[in-house]
Structure 1
Amino acid sequence: MTDAFAVVVAGGGTAGHITPMIAIADALRQADPHTAVTAVGTADGLETRLVPEAGYELRTIAKVPMPRRPSVDLLKLPFRFVAAIKAAGKILDDTHARAVLGVGGYVCTPVYLAARKRKLPIFIHEANARAGLANRVGARYAAGVGAAFSGTGLPGAKVVGMPMRGFVATMDRDAQRDAARAALGFTGDAPALVVTGGSSGAASINSTIAASLPLLARAGVQVLHITGRGKAMLDAAGQPLAAAGYRQVEYVDSMDQAYAAADLIVARSGAGTVCELAVAGTPSVLVPLPIGNGEQRLNAADLVAAGGALLVEDAQFTTSYLANTLLPLLADKDALASMGAAAKTQGRADAAAVMAAMIRQGLGRTTPQPTTTGS
């Protein structure tokens, strides 16, 4: 029997960080069921629900964001940051961690620095085409770096794709289609549109869809609108918005069902979403987040260039866009089929196993390291 070893995985906030983190943890356990995995996150992120649901222990440390302007919080920052590093170090000591895996987010920098102080190997996965601050810091000391996209600029990064859990990585869109449509409330053969702004929602996308409901109903389009947590769409009377063929939910746990059921998906181009759409082979209209450092536009670039998705700027995603571009596309089954096939060429489903192998090899385990493409 292989002797057990402990790995601490760090990341959180949104599903875009948590899902690949859990997928890598799953792959580590699949390679060796005796692997002890402890996750580190914050007390106010989605990890508080998703990590325990996946069967892993979650330990939390304080989130220490950088204040955007001079304030008392800025003066307190060094003390809070030192406290977060100490809290992270205690978790590493308590769990007898042999290695740390980070996927980015506020929680990772203290964990990376605590691991470096203890001379533990650090492994990183960067989900976005443009690396975040935490991973840029951690990559300086990392024993191994994997990336979902090329061009992250992280030293030594290997393009491995996006780690995703088995129910997405192994999905068969055609085989799952009928069951998924039934599960999500789609009926008959009318076109099925799924709209999502990710786990946090997208207010501008939500508003455009709400304003376009009469247009969509006249076209006979069925809509599943995933609004995001706390972003339910309400009518003038404060009741959940309702229309023919329209259903709204705040969150969907089984996104493989959404990918299988949809004829077309409208979504932000978060890294996880883009990679999952490619693996599923689902046509999409991608609306990059208009703020931040532009990583969502970069995330979408390869899928759009391959013909698997359309890209529209947030300000241009209007009722006119739906009328002139989206609805004609939904009515063109051949075009949708071509987009789905093109998306599929960009999919890679083995990233979690590749990352697990990277960690195990770094710790002298027997799992061979799969061949990857250097960035």
Structure 2
Amino acid sequence: MRSVVLAGGGTAGHVSPLLALADTLVDRHPGLDVVILGTESGLEADLVPARGYELTTVPKVPMPRRPTGDLLRLPGRLKAAVDAAGAAMREPGAEVVVGFGGYVSTPAYLAARRLAVPLVVHEQNARPGLANRLGARLTRYVGVTFASTPLPHSTLTGMPLREQIRTLDRTTRRTEAARELGLDPGRPTLLVTGGSLGAQRLNDAFAGAASSLVAAGLQVVHVTGRGKEFEPEVPTGPGRYVVLPYAERMELCLAAADLVVARSGANTVCELSAVGAPSVLVPLPIGNGEQRLNAHDVVAAGGAILVEDAAVDSQWVVDVVVPLALDDERLAAMSVAAAAVGVRDGHERLADLVERAARRVT
């Protein structure tokens, strides 16, 4: 394989698996020409160049959900985006196009169909988005993260994860990770994260319970999201409360943590399961309900517990999270259960599917 086009962007949930696949394909095919399509305004504008790849931008084409003026302008905008995606495919002679959903994927799918380039679709969430529902109708090569995802022609690939996560051994890295974070490896540690953008509900609840967490002897690493950090008001106590706006090395946070409280975005759920991290998952209460569905398998296995967003406040942290974080026996059982449903080789499985598509093998 000499050339591949990868399309996806907008959120880390789209960009992270895209980059994990790009690295895997380059490892398998040295000298591979990788063209990555994205928008100027999504996270891909920063994350793709930071990984060493060039980003080719395509006009952003949101799909209007109501009959407004945007609907009248849609055909012209979509044609421009499809033309731009097609040009990006023709120049390197793309042998296969892989889409991960999001605004840029729809024009990529239509351009691939027009140019008769084999197409692979990867859906991260248990409930697929509009772009991937369209893409799955145009190809026989569809990779899904969760077995319950309702897309035709699907193959269960799991989520492509970055190397630092999929190779993480939490047990052997715990002491090193705790020390790098300025923590005591011998004390129970709680990780709180709302994803790359943070979660205000989690931020407010844990900020209000900070003194109780420290007094209980817990160490807390709280990733708030950039611009949402706060100064925790904690008394001198046996524990410690560390606030980070962003985790540059999330693998260290996961290695140090005995329990994680997080949103249930697909990438988060898959990372936690892959490394066997016990968790409390709080689905985002907006959108099409995909975060609740993303959490289903690991919750059913006993590796996580699911809590409604409306139930999360400072008193809940004290009454529920603190006792769980101090229950070594239950956390050990949850860790085993989470790892049992985790997938560490999603990058290899998806790369296999891409290679089959490039050879047009079913």
Please give the TM-score of this superposition, normalised by the length of structure 2: 0.94
Tell me what 2:300 maps to.
305
CA contact under 8 A between 1:121 and 1:143: conserved in structure 2?
A: no
**CA–CA separation in structure 2 for the residues paired with 1:176 and 1:50:** 26
**1:88–1:110 contact (8 Å) kept in structure 2:** yes
Aligned residues between the structures: 358
CA distance in 1 between partners of 2:185 and 2:334 (Å): 22
Is 1:141 the counterpart of 2:149? The answer is: no
- Equivalent in the alignment of 1:214: 211
Does structure 1 residue 14 correspond to structure 2 residue 44?
A: no
1:292 is matched with 287
Q: What residue in structure 2 maps to residue 253 of structure 1?
A: 248
1:49 and 2:46 equivalent? yes
* Cα contact 2:8–2:102 (8 A) shared by 1: yes
User: Do residues 335 (structure 1) and 343 (structure 2) align?
Assistant: no
Q: How does 1:181-260 map to 2 (within 5 A)?
A: 181-233=178-230, 240-241=231-232, 243=234, 245-260=240-255
Partner of 1:364: 359
TM-superposed deviation, 1:228: 1.7
Question: Offset of 1:243 from its aligned partner?
Answer: 3.9
**Residue in 2 that maps onto 1:88:** 85
Query: How many Å separate the matches in 2 of 1:210 and 1:339?
Result: 26
Residue number in structure 1 paired with 2:126? 129
Residues 211-265 of structure 1: CA deviation (Å, up to 9, x unaligned): 11122122122211111233333xxxxxx45546222222213222121111111
The answer as to 2:251 corresponding to 1:262 is: no
Give the structure-1-normalised TM-score: 0.91
CA distance in 2 between counterparts of 1:253 and 1:40 reads 24
Gapped regions of structure 2 (runs ≥ 5): none
Structure-to-structure mapping, 1:271-282, within 5 angstroms: 271-282=266-277
Tell me, what secondary structure is at the counterpart of 1:223? strand
1:153 aligns with 2:150: yes
CA, structure 1 residues 188+167, in 2 after alignment: closer, same or farther (shift >3 Å)?
A: closer
Q: How far apart are the structure 1 equivalents of 2:304 and 2:221?
A: 19
RMSD: 1.8
Amino acid at match of 2:316: Y
Contact map agreement 2:210 2:232 (CA 8 A) in 1: no
Structure 1: stretches of 5+ with no match in the other structure: 234-239, 370-375
Counterpart of 2:324, as a letter, is L
Structure 2 CA distance for aligned equivalents of residues 130 and 85 of structure 1: 25
In the alignment, what sits opposite 1:350?
345
CA distance in 1, matches of 2:160, 2:72: 38
Sequence identity percentage: 50
CA-CA distance at 1:77 after TM superposition: 2.4
Q: How far 1:197 moved relative to its partner? A: 0.7
Counterpart CA distance in 2 for 1:139 and 1:132 is 11
Determine if contact 1:100/1:122 at 8 Å carries over to the other structure.
yes
Between 320-329 and 128-137, the greater mean CA deviation after superposition: 320-329
1:136-192 Cα distance to aligned partner (Å, 9 max, x none): 000111241111101221111011111112221121110111111122222252221
Cα offset, 1:36, TM superposition: 1.2
Mapped contact 1:160–1:351 kept (Cα < 8 A): yes
One-letter code of the match for 1:334? E
Q: Which residue of 1 aligns with 2:168?
A: 171
Cα contact 2:194–2:225 (8 A) shared by 1: yes
Q: Distance in 2 between matches of 1:71 and 1:133?
A: 19
3-state DSSP of counterpart to 2:161: coil
Matched residues in 1 for 2:72 and 2:245: separation?
Answer: 38
| 1:59 to 1:229, Cα distance in 2 relative to 1, 3 A | farther
Q: CA deviation at 1:68?
A: 4.9
1:90-138 CA deviation, whole Å, 9 max, x = no partner? 2112232111001111110011101111010110111110111110000
CA-to-partner distance for each residue in 1:278-317, whole Å, 9 max, x for gaps? 1101111000010111111111011011111111000011
Q: What secondary structure is seen at the aligned counterpart in 2 of 1:150?
A: coil
Whole-Å separation in 1 of the counterparts to 2:64 and 2:93 = 33
In 2: Cα distance, 1:141 partner to 1:68 partner: 22
**Cα deviation 1:328-371 (Å, max 9, x = unaligned):** 01111111111111111011111111111111122229xx99xx
1:69 & 1:186 partners in 2: Cα distance? 51
Are the counterparts in 2 of residues 281 and 343 from structure 1 also a CA contact under 8 Å?
yes
CA distance in 2: counterparts of 1:112 and 1:231, whole angstroms: 37
Letter of the structure 2 residue corresponding to residue 289 of structure 1:
L
Whole-angstrom CA distance in 1 between matches of 2:229 and 2:9: 23
Alpha-carbon distance in structure 1 between the residues aligned to 2:154 and 2:227: 37
Residues 114 and 267 from structure 1, CA distance in 2 versus in 1: closer, same or farther, beyond 3 angstroms? same
